[in-house]
Amino acid sequence: MSQRPRILLTRRWTREVEQYLADRFEVTLNEPDQPLDAEALRAAMREYDALCPTVTDRIDAAVLDVPDRRVRLIGNFGVGFNHIDIATAKRLGIQVSNTPDVLTEATADLAILLMLMATRRAGEGERELRAGRWTGWRPTHLLGQGLSGKVMGLVGFGRIAQATARKAHAAFGMQIAYYGRRRADAAIEQQTGARYVASLDALAAEADVLSLHCPGGAETFHLIDAARLARMKPTAVLVNTARGPVVDEAALVQALAARRIGGAGLDVYEEEPRVHPGLLQLENAVLLPHLGSATEQTRTAMGMRVAVNLEAFFAGQPLRDPV
Ligand code: 8YV
């Protein structure tokens, strides 16, 4: 009988990582790759030594606090952990790790992609062409907004925001402004060319592109609401690669429909995988299905980062990425 720790991956990971883990642990895969429901997660808490969930798993108190629990580590696949009740995990002595750093560039790239698609009306153009509605070139066809010299306003200024700032500045000559709960070190401001704006309202009013990079959770719920949207410029674009509930989706639909803002580029939604039906009707909304970290390289690196934390934990060492 194997004495190796029992690990459950709640979704399929890249083959490379699944193999790496299978060589070291007794790994159970979720073959059908369907999200597990609360009952299955509760059962898993009794069966495994470590649970490796993702954003599609709701790890709340009812899941964590099961009788005869065996799980002692939650090795989250992802940097965001708003789907895990951290306070309850702490109270129960369950350790939690996440996967910072490795998805920074991929997610920043996607913020840039959404910015470009929204400002250059790429989705609209592609829909027009595929529908056979393109009648040919003309000087006033689908005019977008240029980015050079425009202000990118970043909400939150962690790793992903900083990478987005560097790309926007270096590649498109944008000016960078940011708002965060704390002002960043002068060295980081200097490296990224970013200027601190002390209020979110002021940043919303100034930004040509407002890009969200704050964590999800109660503190940032509907941070971008009707009032903040009303402060934005009529040509401005909202980009969200953070978490859906940071934006009041119904208010965003109204602002976009009334052209009170220019457009939106969204990768995340309030109730994934459900998308507000109003968004689906809007030409000025670019909608991607939570692809921020979706590159082969990044998803393998995320899995390997979970592996580092699992190995540390089962060797009795401190976690590399404790939450
Ligand atoms: C993942 C993410 O796609 O890491 C995160 O926080 O949003 C994405 O990289 C997913 O959330 C994994 O749990």
Burial class (CB in 10 A: 0-12, 13-18, 19+), 307: buried
Instruction: Tell which residue, 144, 188, 148, has the closest CA to residue 171.
Output: 148
Q: pLDDT per residue over 198-212, tens digit each? A: 999 999 999 999 999
The 8-class DSSP code of residue 193 comes to T
**How close is the Cα of 128 to the center of ligand 1, in Å?**
32
- Provide φ and ψ at 214, rounded to 5°: -90, 160
Q: pLDDT per residue over 10-40, tens digit each? A: 999 999 999 999 999 999 999 999 999 999 9
Answer whether 306 contacts ligand 1 (Cβ < 6 A). no
Partnered with residue 74 across adjacent β-strands are 51, 96
| Amino acid identity, position 72 | R
Give whole-number Cα distances, 212 to 245, 263, 271, 284, 320, in Å: 11, 14, 17, 18, 27
**Which ligand 1 atom sits closest to the C-alpha of 291?**
3
**Which ligand 1 atom sits closest to the C-alpha of 80?**
6
Statement: the pTM of the whole predicted model exceeds 0.85 = yes
H helix count then E strand count, the chain: 13, 12
Tokens representing 124 are 């609209």
Pocket test residue of 293, 299, 321 for ligand 1, highest count of atoms within 8 A of CB: 293
Answer whether 79 contacts ligand 1 (Cβ < 6 A). yes
Which amino acid residue places its CA nearest to atom 11 of ligand 1? 55
Q: How many percent of the chain have pLDDT more than 70?
A: 99
Q: How many percent of the chain have pLDDT more than 90?
A: 98
**Confidence (pLDDT) at 2:** 59
Residue with token string 């700032």: 165
Are the C-beta atoms of 37 and 78 separated by less than 8 Å? no
Pocket test residue of 12, 79, 81 for ligand 1, highest count of atoms within 8 A of CB: 79
Q: Would residue 243 show up in a list of annotated catalytic residues for this protein?
A: yes
> What confidence category does residue 182 fall into, taking pLDDT thresholds of 50, 70 and 90?
very high
Q: Would residue 272 show up in a list of annotated catalytic residues for this protein?
A: yes
Q: Would residue 259 show up in a list of annotated catalytic residues for this protein?
A: no
Answer whether 102 contacts ligand 1 (Cβ < 6 A). no
Answer whether 110 contacts ligand 1 (Cβ < 6 A). no
Q: Report the distance separating Cα 84 and Cα 80, nearest Å.
A: 9
Residues 6+ apart with CB under 8 A from 226: 248, 251, 254, 255
In this predicted structure, the answer to whether residue 1 has a pLDDT above a threshold of 60 is: no
Q: pLDDT per residue over 281-320, tens digit each? A: 999 999 999 999 999 999 999 999 999 999 999 999 999 9
Q: pLDDT per residue over 58-106, tens digit each? A: 999 999 999 999 999 999 999 999 999 999 999 999 999 999 999 999 9
> What confidence category does residue 3 fall into, taking pLDDT thresholds of 50, 70 and 90?
confident
Tokens representing 259 are 């052209």
